[in-house]
Amino acid sequence: MPPAAPPIHGIFTPHMVPLDAAGEINEVELRRYVDWLIEQGIHGLYPNGSTGEFTRFTADERRRIIEIVCEQTAGRVPVLAGAAEANVRETLAACEAYRDYGARAVAIVSPFYYKLSPESVFAYFRDIAINSPIDVTLYNIPMFASPIDLATIRRLAEFERIIGIKDSSGDLAGMMRMIEAVRPLRPNFVFLTGWDAVLVPMLLAGCQGGTHATSCFLPELTRAVYDLTRAGQLDAALRLQRQVLALFDLVFAAGDFPEGVRMATSLRGFDFGAGRQPLTDRQRDQLADSAKQLDEQIKQVLASLQAPVPVS
């Protein structure tokens, strides 16, 4: 029998891609960053997500990113590869490539730009589920793409190839309804939260983990929140959750998403370069001002984590 596929649970980092002075993928720095994230204890990597600015790369660049990440990871942690393309045919082609590179599964967002009905969303994912050569996680992010409503999720959960969902709505009640509706049908269906501010309550509601932008620059903190919550040490977990919330708010206030994440990750000693979205002088000044405050908060968090809370 073939070895069991690695589980999808815990903290998956939806990491950004460093760029060089010419605005091209900085492969050396990306590989160094992948190694660092794994060394800090994250459970998996999630390239080509929203934080990873997948729409700002070409299709060839997106494939190269996944190839680099899978190669550098070398099976140490599972890779959940963002595979959303412009249409079903191109998305399936990406699924085939990422399967060949060694990704554990793909995450696919609903079609964006066009406002689609729930029936159209279902039809899109149905075709992918039938034809994908790799496991699929749905990606619900209503702020950027057509929402995947509860009835549609329940219908899609009947397809064996669809193994879970990453939900970035931040809707705790909605997640609870989703788990209640789907888990009796698919006990191993994976529920991941994509909203940093509610990691603890989402885990308590039944999520197996999450994909969080704060883990891009403070994986130690996000991993500690996960470990403490799973261990039932809720007072300690909530103390750290409040730190996550403060960082989350500061990073999102620093500039248009995900510029604050790029700036914060650079504070950890990585050269992420300038993003492909042009910035005005006012925006650069705002990021510089936020960097001073964020740098201090990161140092305080790291100092507080030096005396680890014992996990039973």
267-280 pLDDT per residue, tens: 999 999 999 999 99
121 contacts 134 by C-beta, under 8 angstroms: no
User: Residue 2 pLDDT more than 70?
Assistant: no
Whole-number pLDDT of residue 237 = 97
Nearest of 187, 42, 41, 169 to residue 109 by alpha carbon: 169
Query: How far, in Å, are 88, 110, 310 from residue 128 at the CA level?
Result: 7, 11, 44
Residue 258, preceding peptide bond in cis (omega within 30° of 0): yes
Share of the chain above pLDDT 70, in %: 97
- pLDDT tier at 312, thresholds 50, 70, 90: very low
What's the CA gap between 298 and 129, in Å, rounded?
41
User: Residue 103 pLDDT more than 70?
Assistant: yes
User: Residue 310 pLDDT more than 60?
Assistant: no
Share of the chain above pLDDT 90, in %: 91
| pLDDT tens per residue, range 34-71 | 999 999 999 999 999 999 999 999 999 999 999 999 99
Domains of the chain: 10-304 (3.20.20.70)
3-state secondary structure of 282: helix
Query: How far, in Å, are 23, 221, 268 from residue 56 at the CA level?
Result: 11, 28, 23
- pLDDT tier at 253, thresholds 50, 70, 90: very high
Q: In 47-71, which positions are buried (b, 16+ CB within 10 angstroms) versus exposed (e)? A: bbbbbbbbeebeeeebbbbbbbbbe
CA-based end-to-end distance of the chain: 35
Whole-number pLDDT of residue 3 = 53
- pLDDT tier at 114, thresholds 50, 70, 90: confident
Distance of CA 188 to the CA centre of its chain: 20
In this prediction, residues 135-160 reach a mean pLDDT of 95
Whole-number pLDDT of residue 123 = 97
56 contacts 81 by C-beta, under 8 angstroms: no
Nearest of 234, 202, 199 to residue 213 by alpha carbon: 199
In this prediction, residues 70-75 reach a mean pLDDT of 98
What's the CA gap between 37 and 215, in Å, rounded?
8
The structure's pTM equals: 0.93
3-state secondary structure of 44: strand
Whole-number pLDDT of residue 1 = 40
Whole-number pLDDT of residue 307 = 62
Nearest of 240, 257, 253 to residue 301 by alpha carbon: 240
The neighbour count for residue 280, using CB atoms within 10 Å, is 8
3-state secondary structure of 176: helix
User: Residue 111 pLDDT more than 90?
Assistant: no
User: Residue 5 pLDDT more than 80?
Assistant: no
Average pLDDT, the chain: 94
